[in-house]
């Protein structure tokens, strides 16, 4: 089914993803005309693929010529608040990538997500506590929109230990006011990861990429910045 919004230049197609041993979850494919590549985009812990941030980011990416494939994790498909185990979440990532490759077989594919969604995508690529063996065929690189490096108020890098085993280019989009990613720790992490990691810092943004009014920028400005950075990074890798 294709869903239109009034005045919408980018129609969204409703799909489903079959997660092994779990069942179907909903998915949304937004493919603009002349799309250059596809981003499989997972949501954060507290809000699903329909959250305004996810919807607005997908449309900002479409304006940059990128297609997106969003999907629900099973716990939010069941309308529950507590996230599934890492095993189920990483299985969902793998299933979503496979479904995206089937639905859009003619475009290069990248994967990632907002906060938890990005971290679970990286775990699926690396193999770690989830019990998976690691690696997702067809993925060219990973995009992290606010990587949750540590719990709020408890700085540390343990949540990123597995990234050393990810054999893909990685883009980190991080706000300087993000309570889940101390800027100095994030900068150090990316330095340690070497050429595989690219860090784009959004000055004044928090974990939700909201900025203070005195910054002179709006949330829409930040979304355009995020989308433009993602598009430029991916395009450079594909040249």
pLDDT at residue number 215: 87
What is the 3-state composition of the chain as percent helix, strand, coil, each rounded to the nearest 5?
40, 25, 40
- Count of residues in the chain: 239
Range of the structural domain that residue 219 is part of: 2-238
Q: What is the mean pLDDT of each run of 10 residues along the chain (239 residues)?
A: 52 95 97 97 96 97 98 97 96 97 97 98 76 74 98 96 95 98 98 98 96 91 98 98
Q: What total number of domains does the chain contain?
A: 1
CATH of the domain at 182: 3.40.50.1820
Residue 205: half-sphere exposure toward Cβ, Cα within 13 Å: 23
pLDDT at residue number 8: 59
Show Cβ contacts of residue 32 under 8 Å, excluding neighbours closer than 6 positions: 9, 10, 62, 63, 65, 66, 67
Cβ pair 110, 141 in contact under 8 A:
yes
pLDDT at residue number 133: 47
Partner residues linked to 197 by β-bridges: 170
């Amino acid at each position: 089914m294709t869903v239109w919004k009034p005045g919408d230049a980018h129609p969204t197609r409703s799909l489903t993803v079959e997660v092994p041993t779990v069942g179907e979850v909903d998915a949304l494919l937004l493919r603009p005309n002349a799309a250059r590549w596809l981003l499989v985009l997972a949501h954060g812990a507290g809000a699903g693929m329909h959250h305004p941030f996810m919807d607005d980011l997908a449309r900002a990416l479409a304006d940059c010529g990128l297609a997106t494939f969003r999907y629900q994790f099973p716990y939010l498909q069941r309308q529950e608040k507590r996230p599934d185990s890492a095993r189920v979440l990483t299985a969902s990532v793998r299933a979503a990538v496979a479904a995206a490759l089937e639905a859009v077989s003619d475009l290069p594919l990248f994967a990632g997500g907002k906060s938890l969604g990005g971290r679970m995508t990286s775990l699926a690529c690396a193999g770690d506590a989830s019990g998976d063996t690691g690696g997702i065929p067809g993925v060219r690189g990973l995009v992290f929109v606010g990587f949750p490096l540590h719990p709020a108020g408890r700085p540390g890098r343990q949540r990123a230990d597995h990234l050393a085993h990810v054999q893909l280019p990685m883009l980190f989009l991080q706000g300087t006011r993000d309570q889940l990613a101390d800027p100095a720790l994030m900068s150090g992490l990316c330095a340690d990861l070497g050429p595989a990691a690219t860090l784009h810092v959004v000055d004044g943004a928090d974990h939700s990429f909201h900025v203070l009014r005195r910054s002179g920028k709006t949330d829409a400005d930040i979304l355009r910045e995020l989308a433009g950075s993602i598009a430029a990074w991916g395009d450079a890798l594909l040249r």
